Amino acid sequence: MAEASPTMVVSQDHHVQIAHNFLQTVLGDYHPRDFAVEFWDGSIWAAETDSPLFTVVLKHPGALRRMFLPPNELTLGEAYIFGDFAIRGSLHDVMRLADFLLDQQDWHLGRQLSAAWSLLRLPRALPVAPQRRAELGGEQHSITRDRQAVRYHYDVSNEFYSLFLDERMVYSCAYFADVEESLDAAQARKLDYICRKLRLQPGDRLLDIGCGWGALVMHAAREYGAFAHGITLSERQVELAKERIAAAGLGDRCRVEILDYREVADEGGYDKLVSVGMVEHVGSKALPVYFEQAWRLLRPGGLFLNHGIATLQGQEPRMPSFTLKYVFPDGELLPINRMLRFAEVAGFEVRDVESLREHYSLTLKHWVQRLQANRERALELVDPVTYRIWELYMSGARHIFDVQTNNIYQALLLKADDHRSHLPLTRDDWYAQGP
């Protein structure tokens, strides 16, 4: 009797054989197959490599049907968060496989029919819980709907976020001196780098649009003597930010409040503006208003640092999107050239644009590792589905920055004073250590 190949599946379960046939069909061009598959009965489809990067663990006979009917990002994501399959190993390593599975648009008809026939012979899985998806009401990017979107994402719990963020709770891309630097140090470096780019001076009035838990306004007030005003739509962020400002004795120099950027009425009242990780929530429809409002709020000679994620020109998001349904409802990414065009139409001069793509990959790596290291405490604060949503979205986001599907930029914009910039001729002061 011939010996079984190490990549064969030996099982008496009829559904295992069907599932194996399906996987052989869809993975026919995936070489080398550097992962293993474990079926619900314990049988294994071994990797083609000596040391598999990870193992896909199918939990029940209907798992593949849930994952691939229909085959899109949302069904794969839901199958993971609702526990139809698990990953033994790093989720980051799985993302190459996910890209391959979601890009199979050019199969010939026979291959499509073969794959579909295998799936339909597998049992149906229990239905998902669609109420977990974000369901927003009202006109997209209206003030009312934007409040719903922000609260859906940010009001999970402050303690949950503290499990994976740095000590200052900065929920945006850090700025690393090298790959070995700690997250706490890299986030402190980022806060100071922003203040130096803005060339903050004692007495400057600073507005932070989307201030989160107040780390930047506190740093600007304490280290640079600025009068810093932060706004956010999250009640929980404001509660904690106020506590931290009071504890630091900075109440006379900085404040935070619940306010939409369109509701700020202090026209010409700020020397500097900053927005870190907020422009992704604005949407292309509202971006002209966003930059026009920034222009109105700045004094002549003022600077606006806009820090946000951008997608590649011509890169269309996969639909239906897991991230839009479970993480950032109404989020919208645009190419950097379109964002800068909106800024220029509003009157700004673009003074500098810097990519931080590698820095965001490192940041996300830290966040995922910290979340996983605090898994037990996280599951005391949120249910397993919520935990897996954050684990999956941050692992996927890291991969997207790694493969250059998305980028992240800091754009420094100037409201010129009668055509004068009042800026130094070089950037030397940006790279000084400290204020």
Q: What is the pLDDT of residue 202?
A: 98
Q: Which two tokens stand for residue 346?
A: 């509003």
Within 10 A of 380 (CB to CB), how many other CB atoms are there?
A: 10
Within 10 A of 206 (CB to CB), how many other CB atoms are there?
A: 23
Question: In 25-105, which ranges are E strands?
Answer: 35-38, 44-45, 54-58, 85-88
3-state secondary structure of 202: coil
Residues 88, 207 within the same domain = no
C-beta pairs of 175-179 under 8 Å, 24+ apart in sequence: 175/356, 175/359, 176/359, 176/362, 179/362
Residues 102, 214 within the same domain = no
1, part of any domain: no
Residues 19, 164 within the same domain = no
Provide the number of structural domains found in the chain: 2
Q: What's the number of CA atoms in the CB half-sphere (13 Å) around residue 88?
A: 12
Cβ contact 292:97 at 8 Å: no
CATH number at residue 49: 3.30.1050
CATH number at residue 148: 3.40.50.150
The pTM of the full predicted model, rounded to 2 decimals, is 0.94
336, part of any domain: yes
364, part of any domain: yes
93, part of any domain: yes
Q: What is the pLDDT of residue 130?
A: 57
Q: How far is CA 180 from the centre of its chain?
A: 22
Q: What is the pLDDT of residue 2?
A: 38
Residues 258, 346 within the same domain = yes
130, part of any domain: no
Residues 113, 168 within the same domain = no
Among 408, 389, 399, CA closest to 153:
389
Residues 69, 195 within the same domain = no
Give the whole-angstrom CA distance, residue 68 versus residue 74. Answer: 10
Which tens digits make up the pLDDT trace of 285-310? 999 999 999 999 999 999 999 999 99
Residues 243, 367 within the same domain = yes
Cβ contact 270:207 at 8 Å: yes
Among 171, 159, 243, 178, CA closest to 208:
171
Residues 300, 247 within the same domain = yes
**Residue ranges in the chain modelled with pLDDT below 70:** 1-8, 10, 105-111, 127-131, 433-435
For the chain, the helix, strand and coil percentages under 3-state DSSP, each to the nearest 5: 45, 15, 40
Residues 275, 332 within the same domain = yes
402, part of any domain: yes
Which residues 6+ apart lie within 8 Å of 13 measured at CB? 39, 40, 41, 43, 61
132, part of any domain: no
Residues 226, 162 within the same domain = yes
Residue 414 burial by Cβ neighbours in a 10 Å radius (0-12, 13-18, 19+): buried
Range of the domain at 110: 14-120
